[in-house]
A = this chain, B = another copy of it.
């Protein structure tokens, strides 16, 4: 039965609760681009996810630490996540646009190389050496360094440092990479324990292990069991799990399902990098609790708008004289106060407010959809909601 694994719950963090399933908007560099944090709260944002890689390079994790941690630094009093930096150090600068479509990228089996691009990252068993996408300067991340950075950033939920693979890697490479990610996870738990004991002036940070294994059922299941078995020198293990890495859209539900089979029911499962309506239903139906994605805000800045009747681009000329809201049923600030004609004008005039208004709308659309999914699980009508929503959207 579809939706059988869909579940609701509450994640408790030192900065507040997250009712799950929940969509977690992304504020890459400690700001959701073009939107004030109070506005993210008003549109129902429960938590934000920032990127350790970006904040490590700029302003530096020591500065965020001195500021009192990510939440204080960015004026977001609610819960925060940071990712480990693994995805960015291995993907930025080598031409990967997104994990779901790497088909056009040429990849060798021993490391990650994009066609015609200088290799910016080199993986070895101890960690990753990479060049900054900002200035080409050389840096190195290891599991220990990622933990140290994420402890300085101070998010409530942090992720273990993992190796990114792609669907084009050989089975053999996926196996050895998974072994490496497992060994890194062991080191992350140990370093996390050490830092938690050392930094008692800071609130507790929950550590999530990251499950790789690409499209292979046995590898994904093995990864789950492996991470679950890890116990640090102080007796702790992972507080939750992130499902990451290379997966094709059509396999999303199956892969999340394998992981949910294996993972303990009482720990949260975060799916990295999804926000499309069909993916959200599929992920929840197969047991995922939280998801993050830059997409709703990124496409908003390019004038792409989500509505229950599908996506459209507000930059095209037929909206010049359209004095209706983006979506007259939408409860967001943008739809309450502005017309398509005005927003169209702002894009044509290259005004920053265009990004602000469309980001507010798209983030609200995504947050509300996941809120509705949550209600539908409690109300026992998940399947109907999925059928009606997707029939209308696509």
Contact = CB atoms under 8 A, between A and B. Distances in A.
Interface stretch (A7-15, A144-152, A170-178, A338-346): A338-346
Given A75-B337, A342-B73, A342-B74, A59 B353 contact: no
Interface string A294-327: 0000000000000000000000000011010000
Interface of A: 29-31, 33-36, 54, 58-59, 63, 66-68, 73-75, 320-321, 323, 337-339, 341-342, 344-346, 348-349, 351-353, 355-356
20 contacts: A29-B345, A29-B346, A30-B342, A30-B345, A33-B353, A34-B356, A35-B353, A36-B353, A58-B348, A59-B320, A59-B341, A59-B345, A63-B345, A66-B321, A66-B323, A67-B323, A67-B341, A73-B339, A73-B342, A75-B338
Contacts of A33: 351-353
Contacts of A351: 29, 31, 33
A1 to B, nearest CB: 45
B349 A29 contact: yes
A339 B67 contact: yes
Given A59-B341, A323-B66, A352 B352 contact: yes
A330 to B, nearest CB: 16
A31 B345 CA distance: 10
Given A341-B59, A349-B29, A349-B58, A356 B66 contact: no
Contact of A63 (B31, B74, B321): B321
Given A29-B346, A59-B341, A73-B339, 5 more contacts: A29-B349, A31-B353, A36-B353, A63-B321, A66-B323
Given A75-B337, A321-B66, A338-B75, A59 B356 contact: no
Nearest to A323: B67
- Across the A-B interface, the 6 shortest Cβ-Cβ residue pairs: A59-B345, A34-B352, A75-B337, A29-B349, A31-B353, A31-B351
A366 to B, nearest CB: 20
A95 to B, nearest CB: 22
Contacts of A321: 63, 66
Contact of A342 (B67, B337, B339): B67
A344 B67 contact: no
